[in-house]
Amino acid sequence: MTTTAAPPQAPASTEPPVHKPSVRKRLVPYWLLLPGILWLLVFFVLPMVYQASTSVQTGSLEEGFQVTWHFGTYWDAFTEYYPQFLRSLLYAGTATVLCLLLGYPLAYLIAFKAGRWRNLLLVLVIAPFFTSFLIRTLAWKTILADGGPVVAVLNNIGFLDVTSWLGMTEGDRVLATPLAVVCGLTYNFLPFMILPLYSSLERIDTRLHEAAGDLYARPATVFRKVTFPLSMPGVVSGTLLTFIPASGDYVNAELLGSTDTRMIGNVIQSQYLRILDYPTAAALSFILMAIVLIMVTIYIRRAGTEDLV
């Protein structure tokens, strides 16, 4: 953002005016940053260092753990739990795609068609943030109960035959199957998809739609060539905000799934809090972090929107 190259009739720059700052003034940003950054360094970066050291320790709970630079834990943890890793990525990926498919029409509706209902719809999207997500996840147990109306309908229209064939359900049950876990994940992370989508759709100038229509583009073409490309920043940040937390979640798999649907989050949780095998738990969570960071980096490169942050 340089102001020197601006043409003379350009609107006034939004850069702060450049003075020759005194030493005291130059220190202002550092004073502003100090407390918050210190907090993050001590309670975000330092814990990572401690976890890294934990992951290369060996020992037992009784005799204590010592750093022995035993990197084998990583390999052992990965080979033992790669099904859970794969499952997490699969469930989180499916939920992200479903969130995008379900969330886009609603975001579009709120941004372009809601009129005076816009505020109410937005409130209904945000309100779940403020009510306990655990309670709402438990409500899915009632909704998807065996022999309940939802399962009966899904069974009658042959939906469960398809999902059984895909390995997402078993028989005429939904609860305790992968479908229930994916349903819960999709539900829980929908607001994180809808809000970024909405804010990028809302910024689109609707005159572009009219212009496209004047040029004889059909509605589908307008969407494909104008609306969707312009909403890409929202799509990218929405999918990230959905996929990243979903990949580490263990609440949905625990409440709505069974032992066959355990995700990597469930493993890390029980290793840390029940089995108390700290090195394995630490190694697992670093592997998860590495996988997610690599996937996110590749994805952002591919999507070509690096100015998200």
Task: In whole angstroms, give the CA distance from residue 36 to residue 57.
Answer: 31
**Among 251, 257, 262, 280, which residue interacts with other proteins (rule: CB under 8 A)?**
251
29 binds other proteins (CB under 8 A): yes
Task: In whole angstroms, give the CA distance from residue 238 to residue 283.
Answer: 28
Q: Smallest distance from the beta carbon of 131 to other proteins, in angstroms?
A: 4
Binding map of other proteins across residues 163-202, x = CB under 8 A, - = no contact: ------------------------x--xx-----------
Closest CA to 159 of 141, 138, 133, 177: 177
Q: Smallest distance from the beta carbon of 102 to other proteins, in angstroms?
A: 5
DSSP 102: H
Span 70-99, contacts to other proteins by CB under 8 A: none
Report the residue number, 167 or 290, with the smaller CB distance to other proteins: 290
Span 103-162, contacts to other proteins by CB under 8 A: 103, 105-110, 113, 119-121, 123-143, 145
> How would you label 3-25 residue by residue, b for 16+ Cβ within 10 Å and e otherwise?
eeeeeeeeeeeeeeeeeeeeeee
CB 233 within 8 A of CB 200: yes
Report the residue number, 73 or 285, with the smaller CB distance to other proteins: 285
Task: In whole angstroms, give the CA distance from residue 166 to residue 89.
Answer: 17
Number of chain residues interacting with other proteins (CB under 8 A): 89
295 binds other proteins (CB under 8 A): no
Distances (CA, A) of 250 to 48, 91, 190, 281: 21, 11, 17, 14
Span 46-75, contacts to other proteins by CB under 8 A: 46-48, 50-51, 53-54
Task: In whole angstroms, give the CA distance from residue 249 to residue 288.
Answer: 11
Report the residue number, 176 or 244, with the smaller CB distance to other proteins: 244
Choices 42-50, 77-85, 206-214, 228-236; region in contact with other proteins by CB under 8 A: 42-50
